[in-house]
Structures are given as structure tokens and as C-alpha cells.
């Protein structure tokens, strides 16, 4: 009887286990990761970006290691692991902005060589279900855009040119670009240039009296050069200085000088632009925007804005080695919200030096001064659903910025792989580097030097950004930011106070327990602790 009783208990236990097994399996599967779509983002000259979507991994202990090698090499090199992203809340109530980051991994392979094919290996592991899956991606970095060697050369000379002229020649840029005339005939475009053509602008001042119906410069009443040709990467349209002296386009106070929003594969090189609200209008949200636009070795002075696109489909800009000078005060750091100044609140005579949205952009080696902001990603709002319309793989590096009424660099609106590296900013009234917000990231802030931000904070991480790497930076300015940010990682940074009594030199308002901070150095202000830990314990640490 005891034996049969034991058999009965065992049978019932077995039945209970069978009934509970689906529940155990469900709980187990939520911790175990399940790999999804793998995406290779557009490459830039020196960086590569990747995304790997997942489901499961509730306990966030899955990892993706990264290795890479040049296609002609046998040696694998280790890179930073992909960042685990997912379920962080991003948003701002004022604009009704609410966004939850998807479950995924994302990250970059940094500082590789231009024009080189790489083999990249990604290994996803999770001890919960024993998964080990490998992805191999082959991707080639871009070259710096160049003119087509066999391109036809057209010459433009100023109206007052009195020397010899090379053939074919024109007295207006519109004439060379479209074959158009002046006045009502400026919209006649019977001989539009072809991909591969090069327009060389010869030395002189290109400025027109726009009230003159048939001014010899061919400038229309609104003062804007509307350019619309769609060329190819192999055969771009090039508009460049001829090299015989300075080429100056004076906008005579017009709103937009060059509207390139409908172009593809255009290169502007070696020209000076001045006296216009906007030097290069390159796109607007949900309307249209340029693709593969190159602007290098140009000078923009006395402008309200330098180069602007907020079009999600804009791709592969290369903005390099330019000098961009705004209209703001040269001698006072007022700040846009400084109502206590003897001069009152600072009026915005200039807005932004460079603003982009889209993917694959490179902004490097520029000098920018006297604007509200120097370089920004558009504060775009919720990312578009289509992968090709997201702000990903944007490089901002080796730029020099001085005297901004607000910020030096904003990653605002960026989604994945926004890379802000080795920039220098001196004198910003309100903030240094901004993420307001970032939609999952990672946004990399690496080896930047920021000096003197007297009113605001050195890091404006607001609107609950998610996915931030802050590595190897030198901040000679305080950072008392109290708004929270999530999935953020601070390592090897130097925070140096400026002697402001009682002002915290650094604050870490982490909204997630998996944010990290270590190996940072602090030079505190008098009467302050080394840094302020805002969350989760709201305690000051010495």
C-alpha cells in the first residue's frame, strides 16, 4: 500500500511538472536572447556603424563582441563591444515627445582607413540559453569625393574682368550651370551641365544689384542660385575656384545664396561666401534635401547660417576644412538667455554654423565662431520608421569652435552611432556638448576638450537621452546637470572646476542601474565634493 501511495504521489508530481513546463519555458525564453535583423549602416571615411535587433534578454546579460580586419589582413583586431539598447524612455512633455528604444545592439568600429574594405565579425552570446551566433559583414569605407578627371571645364569670369578668357566662358554662374540668361530668361535651362562637368570660378567679386532687372551677373530678384542637377559619385558636378585669386560671392543681404536642396553629388571648393542669411540651404524636414554634398576649403563670413539640412533622406555630406564666421558679438560672451547683462538678452544675429540630419555625414577640420550653435544634428523628434531615413553614422571630429551663445556641438535628434571626437571648444555661454535627446545611441563623445562654459553646463544631456559614451574628454567647466539620462557610460574623463564656490564640478543623474562611471578625475571647486551623484541615492560622494 505504501508502494502504491508513492507511485501516486510521483505520478501527480510528474503531471504538475508537465503542466508547469510551458511556464518555465516561457520565463526561460524571456531571459534568453533571440537574434533578429542585422544592419550595416552607411560607412563614412573612417568609421563603420552596425545594428543588431533582438528579442528576449530581459536580464540584459547578452553581449556582442566585435572584431575586424582589413580584407587583405589575416589578423583580427578587437573593437568596442556593441552597446545593449532597449526599453529606455526618451522624451519631453512640452513637445509631446515619447519614444521607447527598441531591443537591439548598436555600435561603431572607430578610426579605420578611408577607401578600404573591412571584414567585421560580431559574436552574440547569452548564457541563459547558451546561444552563440556570429555575423560577418564586409563593408568598404568611402573615399574623399574628387572631381572627374575627364570632366569638361567651363569658366566663369566676373562682369568686370578685363584679361584673357579661357573657352568656353560665361559671365554668370547660372549661365554656366544652365545656359540661362537674365531677367525673365533666368529660368530657361536649355543647356544644363552634365555629370562630371567642372565649373571654375575666376578671381573677383560676384555681387549684383538685384533691383537691376537684367544685371550682368544673372542674379534673380531673390538673390538665390537654385541648383538642381543630379550627378553621380563617379562624375560629380564641381564648382570651384580657378586658383587665380580669391572668389567672393556677396549675397547683398539675400536670405539664401545657394539652394542645393535638389542636388546630388555636388562639390564646392575654395570659394568665399558673405553677407547672406544662409550660405547653403541643403534640405528641410519632409520636403527635400541634397545627397552626397561636399563643401570644403570654403570661407563663409558674416552669415546667419552656414550649411543646413534637416531632411532625413540627406546622405553622405563631406564638410571639411572650412572657415565659418557668424554675425554675433566678437568680444562678449553674452548667452542667449542672459537678461542680467548690461546689453540685455543676446539677440540671435546668427543661428547655426552647420546642421545636418540623415546618414553618413562627415564634418571635420572646420573652424567656426560667433554663432548660437556651432555644429548640430537636427533636433528632429521621433525617428522615422524607415531605416534609410534615420540619423545614423554621423561623424563630427577635429573641429575648432569659439564663442557660441549656446552650444559647441549638439548630437540632438541622433539615433545610432553619432561620433563626436577630438573637437575643441573655447567659450560657450550656455552649454558645451549636447544630447537633447539621443534616441538609443550610442552617441560617442571621445577626446574632446571644452573650456569655459560660465553659465550653464558642460554636458547638456536633457530630454532623457539614452545611449551615451563619454570617454577620455577634458572638461574645464562645471557640470551640474540635474536632468536624468539613461544607459550612459563615463570613463577616463577629467573634470576640472573653474573656482566657482560651491558649484559641483560634475553630476551623474543616471536613470538606469546599468549606467556606469569609473576612472574619471576631478578637480573640485571650493566648498564642493568631487562629484555629485544625483541618482539613484541622491548622495554626494567624496
CATH of the domain at 132: 2.60.40.10
- pLDDT value at position 333? 86
Q: How far apart are CA 324 and CA 331, in angstroms?
A: 17
Residue 501: half-sphere exposure toward Cβ, Cα within 13 Å: 0
DSSP annotation of 41 = P
The single residue listed with the C-alpha cell 536670405 is: 255
* Cis peptide leading into residue 362 (ω within 30°): no
Q: Which residues of 137-167 are buried (b: 16+ CB within 10 A; e: fewer)?
A: bebebbeebebbeebeebbbbbeeeeeeeee
Closest CA to 468 of 430, 432, 515: 515
Q: Record the pTM.
A: 0.93
Four-residue CA torsion sign, 409, 109, 493, 469: positive
Boundaries of domain holding 53: 33-140
Residues in a beta bridge with 38: 52
| DSSP SS3 for 173 | helix
- pLDDT value at position 536? 55
Q: How far apart are CA 483 and CA 462, in angstroms?
A: 6
Q: Assess whether pLDDT exceeds 70 at residue 502.
A: yes
- pLDDT value at position 464? 96
Cβ(47)–Cβ(393) below 8 Å: yes
Element (H, E) at 26: helix 2-31
The single residue listed with the C-alpha cell 512633455 is: 93
E-assigned strand segments in 20-86: 33-40, 48-56, 63-70, 77-79, 83-85
Residue 263: half-sphere exposure toward Cβ, Cα within 13 Å: 29
- pLDDT value at position 218? 83
> Rounded to an integer, what is the distance from CA 479 to the centroid of its chain?
22
Using alpha carbons, list the distances in angstroms from residue 3 to 134, 217, 270, 471. Answer: 53, 108, 97, 68
Domain end among 79, 108, 140: 140
Residues contacting 121, CB < 8 A, separation 6+: 66, 67, 68, 76, 134, 135, 136
433 inside domain: no
Q: Are residues 21 and 98 in the same domain?
A: no
pLDDT digits (tens, 9 = 90+) for 181-220: 888 888 899 999 999 999 999 999 999 888 899 888 888 8
Closest CA to 306 of 346, 277, 344: 277
Q: Are residues 47 and 24 in the same domain?
A: no
Domain end among 140, 175, 190: 140
Q: Are residues 18 and 97 in the same domain?
A: no
Q: Are residues 15 and 47 in the same domain?
A: no
Domain end among 140, 173, 204: 140
Q: How far apart are CA 29 and CA 26, in angstroms?
A: 5
1 inside domain: yes
Q: Assess whether pLDDT exceeds 50 at residue 506.
A: yes
- pLDDT value at position 503? 81
- pLDDT value at position 17? 44
DSSP annotation of 93 = G
Q: Are residues 130 and 102 in the same domain?
A: yes
pLDDT grade, residue 88 (50/70/90)? very high
Cell numbers at residue 8, please? 501516486
Cβ(121)–Cβ(66) below 8 Å: yes
Cβ(442)–Cβ(462) below 8 Å: no
Residue 521: exposed, middle, or buried by beta-carbon count in 10 A (0-12, 13-18, 19+)?
Answer: exposed
Residues contacting 500, CB < 8 A, separation 6+: 478, 525
Cβ(473)–Cβ(446) below 8 Å: yes
pLDDT grade, residue 540 (50/70/90)? very low
Cβ(316)–Cβ(334) below 8 Å: no
Using alpha carbons, list the distances in angstroms from residue 101 to 87, 104, 238, 531. Answer: 5, 9, 41, 29
Q: How far apart are CA 106 and CA 2, in angstroms?
A: 61
Q: Assess whether pLDDT exceeds 60 at residue 484.
A: yes
396 inside domain: no
Q: Are residues 3 and 81 in the same domain?
A: no
- For 26, list phi and psi in degrees, rounded to 5: -65, -45
Closest CA to 494 of 525, 530, 529, 520: 520
159 inside domain: no
Cell numbers at residue 365, please? 577640420
Instruction: Output the average pLDDT for the chain.
Output: 91
- pLDDT value at position 501? 83
pLDDT grade, residue 519 (50/70/90)? very high
Q: How far apart are CA 332 and CA 346, in angstroms?
A: 10
Q: Are residues 57 and 108 in the same domain?
A: yes
Q: Stretch 57-65: mean pLDDT, rounded? A: 97
Cβ(449)–Cβ(473) below 8 Å: yes
Q: How far apart are CA 244 and CA 233, in angstroms?
A: 27
Q: Stretch 343-354: mean pLDDT, rounded? A: 81
40 inside domain: yes
pLDDT grade, residue 339 (50/70/90)? low
Q: Are residues 85 and 113 in the same domain?
A: yes
Number of Cβ within 10 Å of residue 506's Cβ equals 27
310 inside domain: no
Q: Are residues 26 and 73 in the same domain?
A: no
87 inside domain: yes
Per cent of the chain over pLDDT 90 is 78
Cell numbers at residue 43, please? 560607412
Secondary structure (DSSP) of 322-347: -EEE-SS-SS----TT-TTSTT-SPP
The single residue listed with the C-alpha cell 544673372 is: 218
472 inside domain: no
Residues contacting 537, CB < 8 A, separation 6+: none
Cell numbers at residue 222, please? 531673390
Q: Are residues 136 and 52 in the same domain?
A: yes
Strands 288-289 and 247-259, bridge-based pairing: unpaired
Strands 97-100 and 89-92, bridge-based pairing: antiparallel
Q: Are residues 119 and 71 in the same domain?
A: yes
Q: How far apart are CA 170 and CA 168, in angstroms?
A: 7
Q: Per the structure, how many domains does the chain have?
A: 2
- How many residues are there in the chain? 542
pLDDT grade, residue 12 (50/70/90)? low
Closest CA to 334 of 403, 381, 280: 403
Q: Are residues 27 and 70 in the same domain?
A: no
Q: How far apart are CA 402 and CA 319, in angstroms?
A: 18
Q: How far apart are CA 355 and CA 373, in angstroms?
A: 9
Secondary structure (DSSP) of 95-160: GTEEEEPPSEEEEEE-S--TT-EEEEEEEEEETTTTEEEEEEEEEEPPPPP---TT--EEEE--TT
Amino acid at each position: 500500500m505504501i508502494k502504491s501511495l508513492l507511485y501516486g504521489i510521483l505520478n501527480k508530481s510528474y503531471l504538475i511538472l508537465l503542466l508547469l513546463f510551458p511556464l518555465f519555458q516561457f520565463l526561460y525564453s524571456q531571459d534568453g536572447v533571440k537574434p533578429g535583423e542585422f544592419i550595416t549602416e552607411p560607412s563614412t571615411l573612417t568609421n563603420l556603424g552596425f545594428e543588431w535587433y533582438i528579442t528576449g534578454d530581459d536580464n540584459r546579460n547578452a553581449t556582442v563582441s566585435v572584431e575586424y580586419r582589413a580584407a587583405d589582413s589575416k589578423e583580427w583586431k578587437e573593437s568596442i563591444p556593441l552597446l545593449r539598447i532597449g526599453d529606455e524612455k526618451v522624451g519631453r512633455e512640452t513637445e509631446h515627445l515619447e519614444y521607447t528604444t527598441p531591443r537591439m545592439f548598436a555600435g561603431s568600429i572607430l578610426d579605420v582607413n578611408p577607401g578600404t574594405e573591412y571584414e567585421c565579425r560580431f559574436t552574440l552570446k547569452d548564457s541563459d540559453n547558451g546561444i552563440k551566433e556570429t555575423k560577418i559583414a564586409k563593408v568598404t569605407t568611402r573615399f574623399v569625393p574628387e572631381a572627374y578627371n575627364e570632366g569638361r571645364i567651363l569658366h566663369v569670369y566676373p562682369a568686370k574682368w578685363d584679361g584673357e578668357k579661357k573657352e568656353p566662358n560665361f559671365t554668370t554662374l547660372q549661365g554656366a550651370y544652365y545656359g540661362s540668361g537674365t531677367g525673365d530668361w533666368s529660368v530657361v535651362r536649355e543647356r544644363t551641365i552634365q555629370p562630371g562637368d567642372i565649373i571654375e570660378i575666376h578671381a573677383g567679386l560676384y555681387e549684383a544689384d538685384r533691383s537691376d532687372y537684367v544685371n550682368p551677373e544673372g542674379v534673380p530678384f531673390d538673390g538665390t542660385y537654385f541648383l538642381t542637377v543630379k550627378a553621380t559619385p563617379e562624375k560629380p558636378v564641381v564648382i570651384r575656384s580657378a586658383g587665380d585669386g580669391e572668389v567672393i560671392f556677396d549675397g547683398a543681404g539675400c536670405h539664401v545664396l545657394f539652394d542645393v536642396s535638389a542636388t546630388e553629388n555636388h562639390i564646392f571648393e575654395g570659394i568665399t561666401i558673405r553677407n547672406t542669411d544662409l550660405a547653403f540651404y541643403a534640405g528641410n524636414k519632409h520636403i527635400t534635401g541634397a545627397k552626397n554634398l561636399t563643401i570644403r576649403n570654403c570661407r563663409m563670413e558674416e552669415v546667419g547660417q552656414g550649411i543646413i539640412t534637416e531632411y532625413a533622406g540627406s546622405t553622405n555630406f563631406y564638410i571639411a576644412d572650412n572657415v565659418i564666421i557668424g554675425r554675433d558679438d566678437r568680444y562678449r560672451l553674452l548667452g542667449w538667455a542672459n537678461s542680467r547683462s548690461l546689453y540685455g538678452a543676446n539677440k540671435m544675429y546668427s543661428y547655426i554654423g552647420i546642421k545636418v540630419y540623415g546618414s553618413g555625414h562627415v564634418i571635420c577640420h572646420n573652424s567656426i565662431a560667433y554663432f548660437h550653435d556651432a555644429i548640430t544634428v537636427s533636433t528632429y523628434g521621433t525617428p522615422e520608421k524607415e531605416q534609410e531615413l534615420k540619423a545614423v553614422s554621423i561623424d563630427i571630429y577635429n573641429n575648432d569652435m569659439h564663442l557660441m551663445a549656446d552650444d559647441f556641438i549638439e548630437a540632438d535628434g541622433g539615433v545610432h552611432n553619432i561620433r563626436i571626437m577630438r573637437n575643441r571648444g573655447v567659450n560657450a555661454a550656455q552649454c558645451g556638448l549636447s544630447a537633447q535627446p539621443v534616441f538609443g545611441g550610442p552617441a560617442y563623445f571621445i577626446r574632446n576638450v571644452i573650456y569655459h562654459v560660465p553659465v550653464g553646463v558642460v554636458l547638456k544631456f536633457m530630454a532623457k537621452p539614452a545611449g551615451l559614451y563619454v570617454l577620455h574628454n577634458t572638461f574645464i567647466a562645471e557640470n551640474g546637470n540635474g536632468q536624468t539620462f539613461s544607459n550612459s557610460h563615463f570613463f577616463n574623463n577629467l573634470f576640472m572646476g573653474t573656482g566657482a564656490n560651491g558649484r559641483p564640478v560634475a553630476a551623474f543623474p543616471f536613470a538606469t542601474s546599468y549606467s556606469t562611471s569609473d576612472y574619471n578625475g576631478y578637480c573640485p571647486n571650493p566648498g564642493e565634493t568631487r562629484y555629485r551623484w544625483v541618482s539613484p541615492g541622491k548622495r554626494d560622494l567624496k
